[in-house]
């Protein structure tokens, strides 16, 4: 991958311990696959996939677990702008064409901070409360079914923000309630715990709050519609170009969102919920492991212990210019 040109997308899959990067920007012709346990070893697969469609989006790229437990990284394309969906994949460094079926599973990690595009897919709720995944213009049937107490209205846009080994997390346009300049709205998430096979409803403040799944933790940053009051922390954000990225305000200004500087954690197994107030717009949770949370505030990487009722004062592990461009973290084995 060219450091000068950058990438079109970067997506991280903790269960499979893979990092997938599409490069170069706009019309990527290469899929770069890194293993978390050996990140210096790169699999690079050249593709001609973007020559096959008129409009290709990173939102239509996903990691897919196939019935034989193999993994494919897939572009879903509208073939010749028709209603036929074509699946293209990479398995073990080889390009393949294959047809999805109901036994395949699409993975999704959620949305990081920094106004960075995330990894999610759309859902259709059938009349019998079963869920189908919308793939291009087609549907992929699943074994997921909503309980009686979770109902989406007809025509609502339902999104699967997270689909990992631990959880499936759904929300929708109508379940993200924006508010006024005075108060934050609310985002409601419907979480299926795959270990207990039970659904639960989790509410985070903020009508534009975004989440991702880290182990058994649903984490997110609290955001809402843009307001007269500026998001906090503008004076501390990087204003110059750097080798690792552009000034963060370039993305924040175009996002039309109020970022509150509040971070949320919810353990789906214990039900315990925590809040971190950074008072800085450019902050996000990067990783949660054992009893520690790792998060970023501008150009600082912070580690804090998760206590029974609260989160301890964090310890700054590093303060470097490039940390402002870190949006994922992982531990080696």
* Cβ atoms of 190 and 198 closer than 8 Å: no
Question: Cis before residue 24, ω within 30 degrees of 0?
Answer: yes
Q: How far apart are CA 151 and CA 165, in angstroms?
A: 24
Q: How far apart are CA 328 and CA 296, in angstroms?
A: 10
Query: Quick one: residue 68, left, alpha or beta (phi over 0 = left, psi -120 to 50 = alpha)?
Result: alpha
User: 101-140, pLDDT tens digit by residue?
Assistant: 666 788 999 999 988 888 999 999 999 999 998 876 677 8
Task: Give me the mean pLDDT over the 38-64 stretch.
Answer: 67
pLDDT over 60 at 10, yes or no: yes
Q: Give all strands (DSSP E) within 51-118, no chain letters.
A: 61-65, 71-78, 85-91, 94-97, 105-106
Mean pLDDT, the chain, integer: 84
Share of the chain above pLDDT 90, in %: 49
The helix (run of H) or strand (run of E) holding residue 284 is strand 283-289
What local confidence, expressed as pLDDT, does residue 58 receive? 57
Q: Which two tokens stand for residue 193?
A: 């715990």
User: 187-221, pLDDT tens digit by residue?
Assistant: 999 999 999 999 999 999 999 999 999 999 999 99
Q: How far is CA 128 from CA 45, 146, 155, in A?
A: 41, 9, 16
């Amino acid at each position: 991958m060219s450091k000068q040109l950058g990438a079109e997308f970067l997506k991280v899959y903790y269960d499979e311990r893979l990092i997938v990067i599409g490069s170069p920007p706009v019309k990527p012709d290469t899929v770069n696959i890194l293993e978390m346990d050996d990140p210096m070893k790169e699999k690079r697969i050249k593709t001609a996939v973007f020559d096959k469609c008129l409009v290709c989006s990173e939102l239509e790229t996903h990691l897919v677990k196939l019935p034989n437990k193999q993994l494919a990284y897939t572009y879903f394309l509208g073939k010749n702008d028709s209603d036929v969906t074509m699946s293209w994949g990479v398995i073990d460094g080889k390009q393949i064409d294959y047809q999805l079926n109901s036994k395949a599973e699409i993975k999704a990690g959620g949305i990081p901070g920094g106004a960075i595009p995330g990894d999610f897919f759309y859902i259709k709720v059938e009349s019998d409360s079963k869920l189908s995944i919308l793939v291009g213009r087609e549907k992929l049937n699943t074994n997921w079914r909503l309980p009686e107490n979770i109902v989406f209205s007809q025509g609502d846009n339902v999104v699967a923000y997270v689909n990992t080994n631990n959880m499936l997390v759904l929300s929708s346009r109508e379940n993200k309630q924006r508010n006024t300049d005075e108060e934050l709205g609310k985002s409601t998430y419907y979480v299926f715990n795959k270990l207990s096979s039970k659904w639960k409803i989790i509410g985070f403040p903020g009508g534009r709050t975004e989440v991702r799944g880290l182990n058994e933790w649903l984490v997110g940053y609290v955001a809402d519609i843009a307001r007269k009051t500026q998001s906090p922390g503008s004076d501390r954000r990087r204003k110059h170009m750097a080798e690792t990225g552009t000034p963060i305000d370039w993305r924040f200004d175009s996002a039309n969102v109020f970022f509150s500087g509040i971070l949320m954690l919810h353990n789906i197994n214990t039900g315990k919920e925590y809040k971190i107030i950074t008072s800085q717009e450019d902050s996000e949770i990067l990783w949660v492991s054992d009893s520690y949370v790792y998060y970023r505030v501008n150009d600082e990487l912070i580690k804090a212990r998760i206590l029974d009722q609260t989160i301890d004062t964090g310890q700054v592990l590093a303060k470097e210019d490039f940390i402002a461009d870190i949006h994922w973290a992982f531990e080696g084995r």
